[in-house]
Amino acid sequence: MKSALLVFLGGGIGSLLRYWISVMIKNQIETKLYLFGTFTVNVLGSLLIGILIGWLFKTESPNSNLQLLLIVGFCGGFTTFSAFSLENLNLLKSGMYFQFLLYAVGSLAVGILAVYIGFVMMKKLI
């Protein structure tokens, strides 16, 4: 139960920060495109998860409460792209180049396809 609460707390804070940053960037650029906010959050989240992983693995046990709060919770709520980026880096570091290519390209292609299919399904229903 404690683990779930830590992930919940971190995720809520990360999601709220993602929203604030996206709105702030959208208002600064004065555009209706949310892409710049999302791009910024994805890059910041990827940088942050790298910093946190490096710091936590030097100072804490791999399954610490801080890892649940900051990496799984906060970074997961802030952007799942950061977790995706970390997983891809781990594949590259392990020399699993084919799996990396399959996972990275496959995730992007299938993700976009899934959004399109969902959109088309709902368009036909509504």
pLDDT tens-digit profile of 45-54? 889 988 988 8
Expressed as residue numbers, the domain containing 20 is: 2-79
Q: What is the pLDDT of residue 35?
A: 67
Residue 78 near residue 18, CB atoms below 8 Å: yes
How sure is the predictor about 23, in pLDDT bands with cuts at 50, 70 and 90? Answer: confident
- Give the whole-angstrom CA distance, residue 102 versus residue 63: 28
- Classify residue 87 by burial, with Cβ atoms within 10 Å: 0-12, 13-18, 19+: middle
Exposure on the CB side of residue 50, measured as CA atoms within 13 A: 12
What is the reported pLDDT for 34? 60
Give the CA distances from residue 27 to residues 6, 20, 30, 103, 116, in Å, rounded to whole numbers and listed in that order.
32, 11, 5, 34, 28
In a domain, residue 65? The reply is yes
Q: Is residue 121 part of a domain?
A: no
Cα radius of gyration (the chain):
17
Q: Is residue 46 part of a domain?
A: yes
- What are the pLDDT digits (tens) for 34-70? 667 778 888 888 899 889 888 887 886 666 899 999 9
The model's confidence at residue 114, banded by pLDDT at 50, 70 and 90, is: confident
> Into how many domains does the chain fold?
1
pLDDT of residue 13: 97
